[in-house]
Structure 1
């Protein structure tokens, strides 16, 4: 993809979901110079063929590290497109940008209807539902796994988990007390047919309930679709509210309008 001749400025895009690559492509196509930050090497792969100025892989060192980065490579805008449940990094970005007077905008997917899913305000709310005899699959982030497993067991469920193939995920699964025979170590949406692996896991373990996060992305949409097809109950951990003082956009067009100063 070629950059437009009219240079717009420089954007630092912090990406934590599958939306990152399309945001980067859109920004580059409109003449923006783009620096990208991702957590791990795997997440950096989709950006390798793009005309990005730099790809930063790894932790940023909190608010202080972010402030130092902004001093090293000045940018016109910071775009927080991290995962909606990555609260710590969003808060650190806000704090660092406030101190430096840096423009910051948050990109979030719109929340879509998820069939008959029940939304949980917190994992503790699961305890209010009788789960005795239920076979519950936790398809959550590693950080929620320990609490979710304990609450589900206390409610009477037999607990299973789908976790990412990463050291932290495996350690959290062990800390949550999920036995190896109840653990599926896979990446979401993998395989020749999207959803086939998740469906096979549910069939093998005769899953009656799935808990996932209300992220608004492809993974949530897949579980909503499978719940309708296979008949298991779907529980969604409510998406956290964005930081009130940070403007939020929900589409590429809204993002470009905001960066160009044409937001209504």
Structure 2
């Protein structure tokens, strides 16, 4: 269905490579103009080419920058589908949209965790307690921002620390600049094919005992759940932060989010 009335309606989506392209593609089919904010050039390649799609690359520094972007591009509504742990940008988006009365739609992935005896929720990256880590192999799949500090903590607990980081300049630089041995660093994208999960081969090769990751709700978390389930390994999931947002509408299904945009904007 093409709706010519939507040709002037500009939707701004802030997302990674999983959810943003799905929502953007459908809105483009309905003749919306879509602005998609991503952190890297590579992330932008996940979106299809379309004359009504505008890719914006890089970090947004503050609330004022967000407000200026909304006003300059006549944005009708904003979709926050950023990573669950990207709390700073979510707070800035919420405050900016509230200040200028622009609708904010929050997309939150469902948590995928199953009830098994080797999955554990923890409150923060250094919250693996009551476990003797001496001479045990722990794999950190937590991104690069807090990698060195977290690795140092578990190394002080006598664990052998390994990591998997994304193939981006920032991640690679921080990984090889950390206290982790170079031979204990793997650079790869999270697998999207359930039939061939590279992370499993990595765990087998390194003889991993424990995996530490974040409760993102994305395919990376799903991979670790699949790998650890039924194995002798243990999976520790850092709970996603709770960001109070009484201004945004919240959705956890792509179609419900899209339907809301179609019906209201």
TM exceeds 0.5? yes
C-alpha separation in 1, matches of 2:113 and 2:217: 9
The answer to whether the 8 Å contact 1:127/1:152 transfers is: no
The runs of 4+ residues in structure 1 deviating greater than 6 Å are none
1:192–1:218 Cα change, 3 Å = closer
Deviations along 1:178-235, one digit per CA (max 9) or x if unpaired, are 010111111211789531x211211111111111111111111111111125431111
The equivalent of 2:6 in structure 1 is 7
Is 1:217 aligned with 2:218? yes
Larger mean Cα displacement after TM superposition, 181-190 or 8-17: 8-17
The equivalent of 2:204 in structure 1 is 203
Bigger helix fraction: 1
Alignment of 1:113-262 (within 5 A): 113-116=113-116, 117-189=119-191, 193-195=195-197, 197-245=198-246, 246-260=248-262
Q: What is the Cα deviation at residue 66 of structure 1?
A: 1.1
C-alpha separation in 2, matches of 1:61 and 1:136: 34
Deviations along 1:70-93, one digit per CA (max 9) or x if unpaired, are 121011100001111111111121
1:153–1:163 Cα change, 3 Å = same
Alignment of 1:83-102 (within 5 A): 83-102=83-102
Q: What is the Cα deviation at residue 115 of structure 1?
A: 4.5
C-alpha separation in 1, matches of 2:255 and 2:191: 27
1:98–1:56 Cα change, 3 Å = same
TM-score, normalised on structure 2?
A: 0.89
1:142–1:52 Cα change, 3 Å = farther
